[in-house]
Chains A and B, each alone.
Chain A
Amino acid sequence: MPFIPHTEDDVQAMLVRIGVPSIDQLFDEIPAGLRSGKLTGVPQGMVEMDIARLMTERAESDGRFLNFTGAGAYEHHIPAAVWQIASRGEFYSAYTPYQAEASQGTLQLLYEFQTMMSSLTGMDVSNTSLYDGASGLAEAVLMAVRAHKTSRRILMPKTVHPIYRQVVHSIVKHQKIELVELDYDPANGITALPDEKDFAALVIPQPNFFGCLEEVDQLTDWAHAQDGLVIGLVNPLALALLTPPGTWGSKGADIAVGEGQPLGSPLSSGGPYFGFMCCKQALVRQMPGRIVGRTVDLDGKPGFTLTLQAREQHIRRAKATSNICSNQGLMTTAATLHMALLGPDGLERVASASHANTLALTEKLRAISGVKQAFAHSVFHETVLQLPIPVADVLRALEAQGIVGGFDLTPYYPELGQALLVCATETKTAADIEKFVEQLKRIVERRNAGPSCTKLVPGPNSKW
């Protein structure tokens, strides 16, 4: 549906009708002291030619790097058809249309998205998306607390993305929810069975932030035995290979949530991405976000509609399951197309190739003197390396060679020493991996080699 903005004539006609001289006067009740005034930091509008030039320059200033960083956002090949179709006028909007049922095509697509996500995660139901993986995890925490009813404690392993943990903390800290950090086994990089009881839910990241595969069956059964729920924080692409959360342990995870970016969204400097959330049927009334259902109209013809809306703010007001009334519709559209074009086999091939590339990369990097793998445990497509020299220096030196060499873990996990998180997806060729290995080897060896030139002192015959 087209979005038609008001013209100046429309605005004037409406002001005359209600007897108000200007739009500003509609905001009279806001005291002057609370108003922001003119937005002086916002530049004047630009014509298309100028803006095209500016954006090209900005894009070029980013450079073209060979990227070995994952840490929550992953570089994958996106078939050209995905965004060709997603950019069509019929789809090109960030929102679920307000008069949703008038946009049957959009609802059908979202319904198919839900179906794909449910099948990928092995869960009963899916919503139509959330803002991103981190806020999605916060929503899952809130949902678990609502559903559990008696406890407001959440077990949050340190192997969960540190920025996700910060986001969850920001969102739930004023809601009397306690986030209990769980340590990891220093040898394997996975969450040890905690000595805890009386909690609403255990978060299980799979793969975890270190790339390691958690013992999901054991953790799930343990949490259920303590009457806690299980929130699976999963990489959707990894699910093409790994056990889906719906079948973890004997009863399966209760909620599955994650970052959808690996499914059709480019890295694009950090967003927009989208979150996804699936759950068991019994919890559906506690789920935030919109849900599309399939039904029949008065004539018995199939159609799509928003359903279970009594959870939402326009009906439930302050008691809504969340105040997410929209979704990342465009990214969801791309994800649906991406999954449809790749199919289960394609997703599995991408996941397998990413896994194989990361293993190949790790094998070669470990052969460099002084470079170690931090954990002796299986990984999906990411792993932690420990370097003999400062990670920050290494990343700077690699960047000078056109390589983004990984994610520096030292600010988040000082106990791991000079630790670097690296990832090689299916987009990396053997030559790319070789280039990274060669450069890292050169940097490490140079730094380890003999006295540096700053230690040279002038000799008796020096002229300087």
Chain B
Amino acid sequence: MTIPADLKYTKSHEWVRLEADGNVTVGITHHAQELLGDMVFVENPVLGRKLTQGEECAVVESVKAASDVYAPIAGEVVAANAEVESAPESINQDAYAAWMFKLKPDSAAALGGLLDAAAYQALVDSEAH
């Protein structure tokens, strides 16, 4: 159960959940945290920042690497998870509970362009080779 079926994914290993209020929640996948190792630092985008799809907007740093996090779709940052910033290891404990930030999408249709669980599983499998 490392790739929940109800989420959308990106090729750069973010997960995306459409919420009831129309906003989307973003985090990094279980696979991504496995590659990075023990998390020591999370930097989220500032509230109100308008992001284009694919824009670098956050950073996760582990004991062995630092990696950028990209906006999965275009939108405005409406929330950032301060808990994950003060406890970066929560991403290692449960990558899908430890969300990073929320976006108000410019267009809900953009979600349709993201990977579903099966397509993301295929991506992870292909990267394993």
Task: Enumerate 20 A-B pairs (CB-CB under 8 Å) in ascending A order.
Answer: A149-B46, A150-B46, A285-B41, A285-B43, A285-B59, A285-B61, A310-B40, A310-B41, A310-B61, A310-B62, A310-B64, A310-B65, A310-B66, A311-B66, A315-B64, A315-B65, A315-B66, A316-B66, A319-B66, A319-B68
| Interface of A toward B, CB cutoff 8 Å | 149-150, 285, 310-311, 315-316, 319
> How many whole Å from A200's CB to the nearest CB in chain B?
14
A310–B41 alpha-carbon span in the complex (Å): 10
Q: B34-45 interface mask toward A, CB cutoff 8 Å, 1 = contact, 0 = none?
A: 000000110100
Q: Which residues on the A side are within 8 Å of B65 (C-beta)?
A: 310, 315
Which 10 pairs across A and B sit closest by C-beta, in order of nearness?
A: A310-B66, A310-B61, A316-B66, A315-B65, A285-B41, A310-B65, A315-B66, A149-B46, A319-B68, A285-B61
The number of chain B residues with a CB under 8 A from chain A is: 11
Q: Which residues on the A side are within 8 Å of B41 (C-beta)?
A: 285, 310
The residue in chain B whose Cβ has the minimal distance to the Cβ of A317 is B66
Q: Which residues on the B side are within 8 Å of A311 (C-beta)?
A: 66
Per DSSP, chain B at the interface is strand
The residue in chain B whose Cβ has the minimal distance to the Cβ of A316 is B66
A311–B59 alpha-carbon span in the complex (Å): 11
| Interface of B toward A, CB cutoff 8 Å | 40-41, 43, 46, 59, 61-62, 64-66, 68
A319–B43 alpha-carbon span in the complex (Å): 15
> How many whole Å from B99's CB to the nearest CB in chain A?
21
> How many whole Å from A147's CB to the nearest CB in chain B?
10
The residue in chain A whose Cβ has the minimal distance to the Cβ of B68 is A319
Q: Which residues on the B side are within 8 Å of A316 (C-beta)?
A: 66
Q: Which residues on the A side are within 8 Å of B46 (C-beta)?
A: 149-150
Other 9 A-B pairs with CB < 8 A, given A310-B41, A310-B62, A319-B68: A285-B43, A285-B59, A285-B61, A310-B40, A310-B61, A310-B66, A311-B66, A315-B66, A316-B66
Q: Which residues on the A side are within 8 Å of B66 (C-beta)?
A: 310-311, 315-316, 319
> How many whole Å from A311's CB to the nearest CB in chain B?
7
A259–B46 alpha-carbon span in the complex (Å): 34
Q: Which residues on the A side are within 8 Å of B59 (C-beta)?
A: 285
The residue in chain A whose Cβ has the minimal distance to the Cβ of B43 is A285
A311–B40 alpha-carbon span in the complex (Å): 13
A393–B40 alpha-carbon span in the complex (Å): 61
Q: Which residues on the B side are within 8 Å of A315 (C-beta)?
A: 64-66
The residue in chain B whose Cβ has the minimal distance to the Cβ of A320 is B66
A311–B61 alpha-carbon span in the complex (Å): 9
> How many whole Å from B76's CB to the nearest CB in chain A?
14
Q: Which residues on the B side are within 8 Å of A285 (C-beta)?
A: 41, 43, 59, 61
The residue in chain B whose Cβ has the minimal distance to the Cβ of A285 is B41
Q: Which residues on the B side are within 8 Å of A149 (C-beta)?
A: 46
